Amino acid sequence: MARPAVYGCVRGNTLASSAPFRATECPAILPNVYNALVSPSPKKFLPIEERPTERRNPNSTDIDRFSAEEIVRLMNEEDSKIAAAVAREIPAIARAVDAIVIGMRNGGRLFYVGAGSSGRLGVLDAAECAPTFGTSRKQVQALIAGGKRAVTSAVEGAEDSTRNGERDLSAKRLTQNDVVVGVAASGSTPYVLGALKHARSRKATTVAVTANRNMPVARLAKILIAPEVGPEVLAGSTRLKAGTAQKMVLNMLSTAAMVCLGHAYENLMIDLLSTNEKLSDRSLRILVEASGKSVPVTRHALRKSGRNLRVALVMLKLNVQVAKAKQLLKSAGGNLRRALGES
């Protein structure tokens, strides 16, 4: 025969089990009794966190007790793991670069899509391509959840809509020559998932840059780049190691693609846009380095070429006039090495 339920509390060392007790008899333990009988601990219902970036880092458990030097030393130690994590993804990064190069040679564009810190990193990389490589601002673009306002301010809830990601990217009228890079440290940002889903439907090449490999973005990306940097010093603060890894990857994607497309001569920015005094001085230094000519001669060629570094370099290295330099470049399909007879 089953024992009857016991309702009681401890009075001193004695269990009271006669009649249901009154709250005033043992108020100190009543909440615990109630929770035990009615509501199990919430932790029992929390899903197991599969994302390493959301877990707690055992090395920083007591970081709130550290001195300033101890904090930054620990952060530096954690950051030292990033390059190795990115190195493991080099084959995937190279495949993505090849896809971008092939796409752009056929008139395609590169799109970065992200939210929060990840989205801002995409905006940064896209913004730097035009002045660094002389490309059209339409050739490399970035979409961030929440629009331009989200670049400098948090736009709450903007990243939670897959529909917004689909809508923003659909306005770009994708083609199969475009490459869409979803940047999401978590690997599960709805805005990014929506954009990648739309890109797949348009047969564009999809790439995911994340810090968590086994996440939804992996199923939507043709190429997965996942430098797994592990838990952050502050749990879930993916602007730290994950963000640094993402920036390294985006730097590689854009720089390697542009170099392969001929936007560099040796290791010099031959298509640099001279939009201010500092960049004008840099353009002159680039030409002096590349041609081996004196500053006065180089400055004259640069002025004659209309500040076109490619044309000026052909003039200087082959000792030809502007018209002949332009003709050589056109015959070479814009390939500077070929125009110089160095290919």
Residue whose C-alpha is closest to residue 175's, from 100, 99, 109, 254: 109
Give the span between the Cα atoms of 86 and 207, in whole angstroms: 15
Residue matched to tokens 């086994």: 214
Pair of tokens at residue 289: 């380095």
Strands 14-15 and 10-11: antiparallel
Give the span between the Cα atoms of 143 and 122, in whole angstroms: 8
The per-residue pLDDT for 21 is 37
CB–CB of 250/125 below 8 Å? yes
Element (H, E) at 336: helix 336-339
- For residues 338, 340, 342, 343, the Cα torsion angle rounded to the nearest 10 degrees is 0
Pair of tokens at residue 144: 């961030």
CB–CB of 262/334 below 8 Å? yes
Segments in the chain below pLDDT 70: 1-49
Strands 140-144 and 205-209: unpaired
The reply to whether the predicted model has a pTM over 0.85 is: no
Catalytic residue chosen out of the listed positions 25, 54, 156, 159: 159
Catalytic residue chosen out of the listed positions 25, 49, 78, 128: 128
pLDDT digits (tens, 9 = 90+) for 15-33: 444 344 343 444 444 444 3
The per-residue pLDDT for 24 is 40
The per-residue pLDDT for 48 is 59
89 a catalytic residue: no
The per-residue pLDDT for 27 is 42
The per-residue pLDDT for 7 is 37
228 a catalytic residue: no
3-class secondary-structure state, position 180: strand
The per-residue pLDDT for 46 is 53
* DSSP state for residue 265 in the 8-state scheme: B
* DSSP state for residue 279 in the 8-state scheme: H
Environment class of 67 (CB within 10 Å of its CB; exposed 0-12, middle 13-18, buried 19+): exposed
* Alpha carbon 78 to chain centroid, angstroms: 19
Give the span between the Cα atoms of 314 and 340, in whole angstroms: 6
Residue whose C-alpha is closest to residue 154's, from 121, 117, 103: 117
Strands 140-144 and 110-114: parallel
CA distances in angstroms from 13 to 16, 28, 246, listed in the order given: 10, 15, 61
3-class secondary-structure state, position 112: strand
Pair of tokens at residue 255: 């720089």
3-class secondary-structure state, position 182: strand
Pair of tokens at residue 58: 């055992």
CB–CB of 140/254 below 8 Å? yes
Starting at the edge strand found earlier in the chain, the sheet holding 110-114 runs 140-144, 110-114, 179-183, 205-209, 223-225
